[in-house]
Structure 1
Amino acid sequence: MADGIYTTLGRQVGLLREMDVIAQNIANAATTGFRAEGLVFSEHVTKTPDGGPSVSFALADGRHVRREQGALEGTGGALDLAIEGDGYFLVDVGGTPHLTRAGAFVAAADGGIVTPEGHPVLDAGGAPVFVPPGTSDIHVGRDGTLSADGAPLAQIGVVRPDTPDAMRRGAGTTFVADGYVAVEAPSVQQGFLEASNVSPVMQIARMIAVQNAYEMGQGFMDREDQRMRSIMQLMDR
Structure 2
Amino acid sequence: MENTSYIALSRQTALWRELDMVSNNLANMNTTGYQSEQPMFSEYLIQTRDSDFRLPEKLAFTQDQGSYRDLRPGALEHTGNPLDLAIEGDAYFEVQDQVGPMYTRAGRFTLNPDGQVVTAEGLPLMTEGGTPLILAPNETEISIGSDGTVSTENGQVGKIRLATFDDPNKMERVGGGLLDPGDMQPQAATEFRVQQGMIEKSNVNPIVEMTHMIQVQRAYEASNNLIETEYDRQGKAYGVLAGTN
TM-score bucket of the superposed structures, by smaller chain? over 0.9
| CA-CA distance at 1:131 after TM superposition | 1.6
3-state secondary structure, aligned to 2:219: helix
Query: 4+ runs of 1 displaced by more than 3 Å?
Result: 49-52
Decide which structure has the larger Cα Rg and report it. 2
Which residue of the partner structure matches residue 4 of structure 1? 4
Residues 128 and 165 of structure 1, relative CA distance in 2, 3 Å threshold:
same
Deviation digits for residues 109-135 of structure 1, max 9, x if unmatched? 111111011111112344322122332
Separation in 2 of the partners of 1:125 and 1:171?
26
Determine whether 1:67 maps to 2:68: no
Which residue of the partner structure matches residue 225 of structure 1? 231
Aligned 8 A contact 1:35 1:173 in 2? no
Aligned 8 A contact 1:146 1:152 in 2? yes
Separation in 2 of the partners of 1:105 and 1:53?
59
Give the counterpart letter for 1:153 in structure 2: V
Residues 235 and 161 of structure 1, relative CA distance in 2, 3 Å threshold:
same
Separation in 1 of the partners of 2:84 and 2:8?
48
Report 1:41-120 matches (<5 A).
Answer: 41-49=41-49, 51=51, 53-120=57-124
Which residue of the partner structure matches residue 39 of structure 2? 39
Separation in 1 of the partners of 2:130 and 2:191?
18
| CA-CA distance at 1:49 after TM superposition | 4.3
Determine whether 1:13 maps to 2:17: no
Give the share of equivalent positions with the same residue, in percent.
Answer: 37
Give ranges in structure 1 of 5+ residues lacking alignment. Answer: none
Deviation digits for residues 43-91 of structure 1, max 9, x if unmatched? 2222224535222211223111111111111111110001112211111
3-state secondary structure, aligned to 2:147: coil
Aligned 8 A contact 1:38 1:63 in 2? yes
Which residue of the partner structure matches residue 22 of structure 1? 22
Deviation digits for residues 189-224 of structure 1, max 9, x if unmatched? 110011110000111111111111111111111100
Aligned 8 A contact 1:109 1:133 in 2? no
Give the counterpart letter for 1:21 in structure 2: M
Which residue of the partner structure matches residue 172 of structure 1? 176
